[in-house]
Amino acid sequence: MPGYEMFGDEERKEVNEVLETGILMRYGFDGPRKGRWKAKELEEAINKTFGSKHAQLVCNGTAALTTALACLGIGYGDEVIMPGFTFVASFEAVLSVGATPVLVDIDESLTLDPEAVRAAITPKTKCVMPVHMCGSMADMDALQAICKEHKLILLEDACQSIGASYKGKYLGTIGDAGAFSFDFVKTMTCAEGGVVLTNNANVYTKSDGYSDHGHDHKGVDRGADLHPFIGYNYRISELHAAVGLAQIRKLDKFLAIQKRNHAALKEMLSKVPGITFRKIPDPQGDSCTFLSWFVPSAEVARAIIDELKLKNVLAGNFYWYDNNWHYIRKWDHLKNATTLNALHPELKAAVIKQANKNFAASDAIMSRCISTLINLSWTEQQLSEKGQAIVNAAKKVMATQAV
């Protein structure tokens, strides 16, 4: 997954072009910047690469989700249906606009279970937010049908699935809006950065203003800009955009390496009886940032993790079920709605209720799942050692445990 593994002269050249002018801000300073507009250039490259009509860069993926939610008109009193397996940023964004995160179960795709979405719809539901976890996708046909039927907004958290697609369309460009993250460990990085993708000109114009204090950006003088609504500062800097510009040019290469390494690793693991793989709604569209695999039980999964730890080869294998960042089970701060400042009591009660629901269906899947990160920098030998270590651990555990 991580573009940072291939940081080099291309990134340095782009950053140096910004350092030469010293204009680190994306807006204004038209003369001194000598025609260098890295953020604008990256937005154009994003639209060209992913086929979106509009792209608004912001300072990170969380800000991209927040901006998209606000610009889609989601706020107080609205419920946003999202999966219980994601990164904490997804619910942070929902809370930051004052809306209620309604967490629901995932299925073996490791993304939203469409039936769980359907069951969670209430008169307050305004938006469905699939999270395309670990490089692959949610069942977009099913989710689009639900949104159409119930007149709901579809917002894609595609932060972890840059370059993945579903039936020929890039993830993030299928719903009313989508978000990518360019943080340091994502498929391509700006160090910190994110983007709102949309085909809706109105959502884009709002995103452009919202992420820069509500400025309407109609004139050439920032001081004279009008503010049609209240915004925030979620701007990206030219330095960050410059890094992203070098990275997006290498994206095809990153994806090709990921797909190759993923296929080789999958081939090795598929020879182990008892190992099965994540359901992928459109296998051709998998960006292959992770290989996610299942074993028959939580006991087996934990024993494999212990064995990998013992052999000192655990790095890059993630058991999300016991992980504090990605799965509802360990999100005590959300379950208790622990905030530093006061939440509206109604929202606080709703958050506590939502986060403490029964997620047995998700537990049954997540407790058996291990995801192996696909690195870009593996040599063939490293890849084969990695696969062999997993195969050995899995075989050893499953031979000794009654499964």
Ligand X SMILES: *Cc1c(COP(=O)(O)O)cnc(C)c1O
- Where do contacts with ligand X occur on this chain (CB under 6 A)? 60-62, 86-87, 89-90, 131, 157, 159-160, 181, 183, 194
Q: How far is the CB of 367 from ligand X (least distance, A)?
A: 20
Q: Which residue's CB is nearer to ligand X, number 130 or number 285?
A: 130
Q: How far is the CB of 131 from ligand X (least distance, A)?
A: 5
Q: Which residue's CB is nearer to ligand X, number 33 or number 186?
A: 186
Q: How far is the CB of 181 from ligand X (least distance, A)?
A: 3
Element (H, E) at 203: helix 201-210
Q: Which residue's CB is nearer to ligand X, number 147 or number 155?
A: 155
Q: Which residue's CB is nearer to ligand X, number 101 or number 387?
A: 101
Q: Please compute, for residue 80, the number of CA atoms within 13 A of its CA located in the half-sphere on the CB side.
A: 35
Q: How far is the CB of 193 from ligand X (least distance, A)?
A: 7
Q: How far is the CB of 94 from ligand X (least distance, A)?
A: 11
Within 316-372, residue ranges assigned H as helices are 332-335, 345-355, 360-366
Tokens of 278: 């994540």
**Which of these, 49, 10, 15, 2, lies nearest to 240 by C-alpha position?**
15
Q: How far is the CB of 370 from ligand X (least distance, A)?
A: 18
Neighbours of 88 (CB within 10 A): 14
Q: Which residue is nearest to ligand X (CB)?
A: 61
Q: How far is the CB of 169 from ligand X (least distance, A)?
A: 19
Q: Which residue's CB is nearer to ligand X, number 94 or number 246?
A: 94
* CB-CB contact of 212 with 235 (8 Å): yes
Q: Which residue's CB is nearer to ligand X, number 2 or number 61?
A: 61
Tokens of 263: 């296929």
Task: Write the CA distances from 227 to 43, 212, 216, 231, integer angstroms.
Answer: 23, 10, 6, 8
Residues listed for the chain: 403
Tokens of 295: 């074993």
Question: Exposed/middle/buried for 252, CB within 10 Å: 0-12, 13-18, 19+?
Answer: exposed
User: What are 369's strand-pairing partners?
Assistant: 294
Q: Which residue's CB is nearer to ligand X, number 304 or number 355?
A: 355
